[in-house]
Structure 1
Amino acid sequence: MTRTVAVIGLNAFNRAKLEALRGAEAITFHGILDPDELVYDVAGFDLAAALAKAETEIRAIDGGVDAIVGYMDFPVSTMLPLLCARFGTRTPTLESLLMCEHKYWSRLVQREVIPDNVPAFTAFDPFDPEALGRIGAAGIGFPFFVKPIKSSGARLGFRIDTPEDFAAAAERLRAENEVVSAPFNRILDHAELPDAVRRVNGHHCLAESIIGGHQCTVEGYVHDGEVTVYGIVDSVRYPHVISFFRYDYPSTLPERVQQRMRELAATVMRRTDVDNAPFNIEFFWDEALDRIWLLEINPRISESHCDLFEKVDGVSNQQVAIDLALGMKPRMPWREGAYTLAAKVFHRVFVADATVTRVPTQAEIDAVRARVPGTLVAVQVRERMRLSELPEQDSYSYAVAWIWLGAHSRAELLAKYRAVLDGLPFAFDEIASNAPAHPGGGDPPHA
């Protein structure tokens, strides 16, 4: 029997991954809402209109739907339980998802069950002139990190070393956080929240002690209350900034560290009450102190990791999301892919802003893929656009292209990356260079 699955924000890249899943021949995938409709803009995101349009599109599907899924961060991740409730399809509760996505609520929950793996933290209002003093009174001294209560991709996240740093960050947060905070608050209006959480809405921010080390992401799922981890992906940053250079799978962390992260993930996910849903949790391992820190929880698969799992294990992690939504225990294979390791590389520009004057042509991309088998390239910019028009960027750089690679050694992977870059010419003009400079002049760090 053919099953019907509505996929919020479905694009060509993810359709290809879905159609390669185990059992996909018996599933019809329907894209709901164009991905461009789900990206925030300066006017804000109209949640009610998006929900109404998604409902209309789903009701127009002949025979109805057996599941509704998504792979994107907010607003899709928290729209799903509202839509699923209208159609009677499987979904975690909105409150359980918000226990992960509302960064302050999530920290409160984490501190209950794994206090030794959570930094000191406090919420603050960036419009409060006494905010810095209140942060200090909460026991958080310089340096510390600030970020919105709800954000993604390190957007509006800042390291604070001085009062001047905090003043500059607070100014940015006041000016730019409304784009996400307003629609997030509309989601919060649908949820039953503890009083301590309701007082800290999307307009607030989080300050927390600096944590760091080897960063990775634990991917897993909860099925009928049982937590399973099926992969750990390393996150490699450019030196001295928060910008990601690449994601590597599988992780190279010691097995004892990986096992401890699996245990921590299981403990905290059981506390959130998320069930029959995927998750990914970002951790740091401080090697010098042999201490693990939990950075954040995302109650969804990581779209960035889809091709990595396909290259190494044989299918995308979309397998997990689809199987769970259809009421099945996920059928995720292990090491059945064509490569020993895989990576997603972020080709970045470390400037405050610039105008794009040249991007690689399709013929150049095709030539790169022919020369470097297994490569996928997704250019993120177009000619004549300003880099500042790119959504969901971190505070220090712009990712102008995403590059997925497969290899059988780290040396081979980095050699492939250099070969790909040689065939992908970008050019920029009107460069504003008052952003922190990348100390390598843009060259990838050694791994």
Structure 2
Amino acid sequence: MTKHVFVIGLDEFNLRELQTVHNAAEYEFHGLVSYETMVNPPSYPMAEIMAEARRTLTEAPSVDAIIGHWDFPTTSMLPILRREWGLPSPTLESVLYCESKYWSRIAHQEAVPECTPPFQGLDPYSDDPVRDLELDYPFWLKPTTAFSSYLGFRIDNEDRYREAMATIRENIHVFAEPFDYMLQHCENRSALPAHGNGATVLAEGLIGGHLCTLEGYVHEGDVVTYAVIDSLRGSNNVSFLSYQYPSQLPDGIQNRMRAYAERILKHIGLNQTPFNMEFFWDPQTDYIWLLEINPRISKSHCPIFQMATGASHHEVAIDIALVRRPDFPHPEGRFPMAAKFMPRVYGNAVVNRVPSAAEIEAIKRHHPELVVHVYVEEGMQLSELRAQDSYSYEIADLFLGGESEQELHEKFRETMQLLDFQFSEVLPTNYG
């Protein structure tokens, strides 16, 4: 029988990705709350969003699964809605341990202290944030709940600290208010740390090295990691350049990361969900640092898996939601390697030219696997882009396949030359 699968924030691109999964004809996919409502809106009116989701589900003839691939608040909506519809789900409390970077660090310190940098939770509304600070400079400062490095700053001195804290204080409500709304739906609030809320700010010591992401799932308490993806950053060592699969890290390092992943996930009680987890490996010290846990698949990796394994790992999210053990990845891809590239501009300017659909189609005659998402329009200021990191503007996403890492990067640079984005000023980029 057809399974009715509801997808929070479903858009046309991810619908096409969902339709690549094995046995896709067995599913009927339905959007649950619009993409525009869930992805980069100016605010999240959670009571209205949840009411809309409940109306859609109530009117549906059948609800067999509810899934999502976007960051918070999608990830926190899932356990609430699944619980209300009697569907298998991780607990909201275990998901909030992942959503809150501060609470997550507390759990890391308890379960994998050797992977945890020094950290501190701070109140952005304090009368004297400098007096409250216990960490030495330099460190990272970021909201406890956000994504894509939004409002994240490297702090090297007191002036920078005061400036960054003022910026965070002015904007943190965008995620703090929906986080505190979700917190009210906990059935066991005592399972979470007593200190901290949506408006907490995390300060943590600098960590670095080779960054990678583990993709996996927890099924009936069994933690499985099925892929490791390398994350390459640009010259500022902050802004991402590409995600590449499969990882080039030594097998021994990957296995140590898998063991740490199992330890922390069992500690916070996360179950019946996909996850992705970011780690650094410092080859000079051989330290492995845990950065963060996300209780979902990475949407950025879906086309990568489609190119390199033959199907999007939306398949994993569907199987777990239907209480089936996934059989993923498949050895059916067109390329031995695949990557997502994030072309960036370091500085603000007016966009003078973007490639047309016809130009993109012409490039695809040379690279048929190419997928391009353009995020800018002619005449706009780059500063109008939402949810950017604090140091660059991501103007597009490109997905490409190749025989090697070198070929992938050559394809990326060649494709960006052909796309020919133009701006009102000559600015540094990560593709020039």
TM-score exceeds 0.5: yes
Deviation, structure 1 residue 124 = 0.3
Partner of 2:173: 178
Match of 1:402 among 374, 397, 400: 397
Q: C-alpha offsets along residues 7-38 of structure 1, whole Å, 9 cap, x if unaligned? A: 11111111111111112111111112221111
Aligned residues: 431
Partner of 1:288: 284
1:275 aligns with 2:274: no
Match of 1:417 among 407, 412, 415: 412
Deviation, structure 1 residue 443 = 4.2
1:254 aligns with 2:254: no
Q: C-alpha offsets along residues 133-181 of structure 1, whole Å, 9 cap, x if unaligned? A: 3222xxx211111100101011111111111110111111011111111
Deviation, structure 1 residue 246 = 0.5
Deviation, structure 1 residue 296 = 0.5
Q: C-alpha offsets along residues 195-229 of structure 1, whole Å, 9 cap, x if unaligned? A: 97343111110001100000000111000000000
1:201 aligns with 2:197: yes
- Rounded to whole Å, the distance in 2 between the matches of 1:422 and 1:368 is 11
1:58 aligns with 2:49: no
Partner of 2:387: 392
1:48 aligns with 2:47: yes
Aligned partner of 1:317: which letter? H
8 Å CA contact 2:416, 2:431 repeated in 1: no
Partner of 1:442: 429
- Matched-pair identity in %: 42
- Rounded to whole Å, the distance in 2 between the matches of 1:338 and 1:50 is 40
Q: C-alpha offsets along residues 336-392 of structure 1, whole Å, 9 cap, x if unaligned? A: 2111111100011111x3332322111111111112221100001223333233222
Partner of 1:13: 13
Partner of 1:308: 304
Equivalent residues in 2 for 1:117-266, closer than 5 Å: 117-136=115-134, 140-191=135-186, 192-194=188-190, 197-266=193-262
Aligned partner of 1:103: which letter? K
8 Å CA contact 1:307, 1:316 repeated in 2: yes
- Rounded to whole Å, the distance in 2 between the matches of 1:235 and 1:104 is 23
Partner of 1:327: 323
- Rounded to whole Å, the distance in 2 between the matches of 1:444 and 1:366 is 21
SS in 2 for 1:354: coil
Partner of 1:31: 31
Deviation, structure 1 residue 40 = 4.2
- Rounded to whole Å, the distance in 2 between the matches of 1:56 and 1:377 is 34
Aligned partner of 2:160: which letter? D
Q: C-alpha offsets along residues 259-310 of structure 1, whole Å, 9 cap, x if unaligned? A: 0000000111111111110000100001100010000110100000001111
8 Å CA contact 2:342, 2:394 repeated in 1: yes
SS in 1 for 2:249: coil
Aligned partner of 1:11: which letter? D
8 Å CA contact 2:93, 2:191 repeated in 1: no
TM-score scaled by structure 2? 0.96
SS in 1 for 2:193: helix
Runs of 4+ in 1 over 6 A off after TM superposition: none
Between 217-226 and 75-84, report the one with greater CA deviation. Answer: 75-84
Match of 1:112 among 110, 113, 121: 110
- Rounded to whole Å, the distance in 2 between the matches of 1:118 and 1:217 is 16
Aligned partner of 1:160: which letter? I
Q: C-alpha offsets along residues 61-109 of structure 1, whole Å, 9 cap, x if unaligned? A: 2x21100100100111111111112222221111010111111111111
8 Å CA contact 2:245, 2:339 repeated in 1: yes
The gaps in structure 1 that reach 5 residues or longer are none
- Rounded to whole Å, the distance in 2 between the matches of 1:423 and 1:54 is 42
- Rounded to whole Å, the distance in 1 between the matches of 2:192 and 2:367 is 53
Deviation, structure 1 residue 39 = 2.8
Q: C-alpha offsets along residues 294-330 of structure 1, whole Å, 9 cap, x if unaligned? A: 0011010000000111111221111110000011001
Equivalent residues in 2 for 1:356-395, closer than 5 Å: 356-395=351-390
8 Å CA contact 1:241, 1:396 repeated in 2: no
Q: C-alpha offsets along residues 211-251 of structure 1, whole Å, 9 cap, x if unaligned? A: 00000001110000000000000010001241000001110
Partner of 1:86: 84
8 Å CA contact 1:77, 1:300 repeated in 2: yes
- Rounded to whole Å, the distance in 2 between the matches of 1:68 and 1:198 is 30
Aligned partner of 1:427: which letter? Q
- Rounded to whole Å, the distance in 1 between the matches of 2:128 and 2:259 is 39
CA gap 1:194/1:123 in 2 versus in 1, 3 angstroms: farther
Match of 2:422 among 409, 427, 441: 427
8 Å CA contact 1:143, 1:159 repeated in 2: yes
CA gap 1:384/1:90 in 2 versus in 1, 3 angstroms: farther
SS in 2 for 1:336: coil
8 Å CA contact 1:22, 1:331 repeated in 2: no
- Rounded to whole Å, the distance in 2 between the matches of 1:443 and 1:17 is 27
CA gap 1:97/1:368 in 2 versus in 1, 3 angstroms: same
8 Å CA contact 1:245, 1:346 repeated in 2: yes
SS in 1 for 2:342: strand
- Rounded to whole Å, the distance in 1 between the matches of 2:345 and 2:285 is 33
SS in 1 for 2:165: helix
- Rounded to whole Å, the distance in 1 between the matches of 2:383 and 2:55 is 33
Partner of 2:73: 75
Between 383-392 and 225-234, report the one with greater CA deviation. Answer: 383-392
- Rounded to whole Å, the distance in 2 between the matches of 1:271 and 1:195 is 12
8 Å CA contact 1:222, 1:275 repeated in 2: yes
